[in-house]
Amino acid sequence: MMKLRFFIMKPRCLGMSILAVLTAFAILAAPLRAQDAPSIATRWWSVTHTHIHGSWGIVVADHTGTVLWQINQDSLMTPASTVKALTTGFVRASLGTKSITLDSTIRQINIHSINYGAEKLLLWGGGRTDAGKQLTEYVQGVTGLQSVYLVDGSGLSHENKVAPVVFTTYLARILQLPEGLHFPYLLPSNGMGTLKPLRIPAADVIQGKTGTLDGVSTLIGYINRPQDTLIVSIMYNGKSRSAAKLAEWDLFRQLSLYSATPTTKQIKKRKHNVHRAS
């Protein structure tokens, strides 16, 4: 008959083994912090800029607006519909934050990116004279930055120019102002409206705004992670708008879910599929 042997560890060895296992699990389970965002963005950028040519402006900031990583943060670029996030704050600063009807209207305009509605909001908040100028001065006042020029409230005009750092600074500072009450919830969340392609298995991880025009793809917003909140602005002006949009989705996913950076082969395949569909 085969004899079964049982090996019993000495208490000291057993304790050390348990400690080693627990340490390993702690390392594997440790959440990424804000200081890990630059390395994620750098890996993403090393692949993306090689295959998607054009003008990029990108800022990854912490919840205070402090820049953690950037590419051309001060470059003036066409923002497209991300302007609606700026219009939202301007209208609430002018008309107040106590109207449930107003907030509901703003939310629907942002979720579905309704251009006509955004222009109406701007007129309500600034009147019919120099509304674009008033919006520009409002954003400059909130951010303390001059690198913004706006002519409408919807972002339809290519004449609108905003630096990426203006968006991250604005999204951080508006939360400290009266018009910033519940501000992130007036923007679409991941899996909703214009952010529907940004599917993440948790609600309200990302609250932001997209922008799309001929030769323009932009994405700004809050990334609410368990351990911190990041504020990100990605702006692309160039001929590869569709490929750039997919790359923007990728960076937001990576910063929120810590997914792997796409390989060069995956980027090339993505661009091939975009060209076939267009």
- Residue 273's contacts (CB-CB under 8 Å, 6 or more residues apart) are none
Yes or no: say if 33 and 40 are a contact pair by the CB < 8 Å rule: no
Cα separation values, 42 from 38, 39, 46, 70, Å: 6, 5, 6, 9
Report the distance separating Cα 37 and Cα 122, nearest Å: 35
Q: In the block, which residue shows the tokens 């599917």?
A: 199
CATH classification code of 34-271: 3.40.710.10
pLDDT given for residue 200 in this prediction: 86
Instruction: Please say if the pLDDT value at position 26 is more than 90.
Output: no
What average pLDDT does the structure give for the chain? 85
Residue 122 corresponds to which amino acid?
L
Tell me what percent of the residues of the chain surpass a pLDDT of 90. Answer: 73
Give the pLDDT confidence of 243-268 residue by residue, as tens digits.
999 999 999 999 997 454 444 444 45
**Which of 16-20, 65-69, 85-89, 235-239 shows the lowest mean pLDDT across its residues?**
16-20
Say which residue, 55 or 12, is predicted with more confidence: 55
Report the distance separating Cα 197 and Cα 177, nearest Å: 31
pLDDT given for residue 271 in this prediction: 47
Q: Residue 32: pLDDT band by 50, 70, 90 thresholds?
A: low
Cα separation values, 160 from 84, 101, 135, 222, 241, Å: 12, 29, 11, 22, 18
Tell me what percent of the residues of the chain surpass a pLDDT of 70. Answer: 80
Say which residue, 258 or 237, is predicted with more confidence: 237
pLDDT given for residue 264 in this prediction: 42
pLDDT given for residue 201 in this prediction: 84
Instruction: Please say if the pLDDT value at position 182 is more than 60.
Output: yes
Instruction: Please say if the pLDDT value at position 71 is more than 50.
Output: yes
Question: Cβ of 271: how many Cβ atoms within 10 Å?
Answer: 17
Q: Where are the domains of the chain?
A: 34-271
Q: Residue 157: pLDDT band by 50, 70, 90 thresholds?
A: very high
pLDDT given for residue 126 in this prediction: 86
pLDDT given for residue 259 in this prediction: 53
Report the distance separating Cα 152 and Cα 44, nearest Å: 33
Closest C-alpha among 13, 163, 197 to residue 206: 197
Beta bridge partners of 271: none
pLDDT given for residue 15 in this prediction: 42
Strand blocks (E) in 107-166: 148-149, 161-162
Closest C-alpha among 109, 61, 45 to residue 248: 45
Yes or no: say if 212 and 241 are a contact pair by the CB < 8 Å rule: yes
pLDDT given for residue 202 in this prediction: 87
Instruction: Please say if the pLDDT value at position 161 is more than 90.
Output: yes
Q: Residue 33: pLDDT band by 50, 70, 90 thresholds?
A: low
| Segment holding 253, helix H or strand E | helix 241-257
Instruction: Please say if the pLDDT value at position 273 is more than 90.
Output: no
Q: HSE-up of 67 (CA within 13 Å, CB side)?
A: 15
pTM summary value: 0.82
Any idea what the Cα angle at residue 34 is, between residues 28 and 40, rounded to 5°? 70
pLDDT given for residue 143 in this prediction: 98
Question: Cβ of 35: how many Cβ atoms within 10 Å?
Answer: 10
- Residue 151's contacts (CB-CB under 8 Å, 6 or more residues apart) are 132, 157, 159, 160
pLDDT given for residue 251 in this prediction: 97
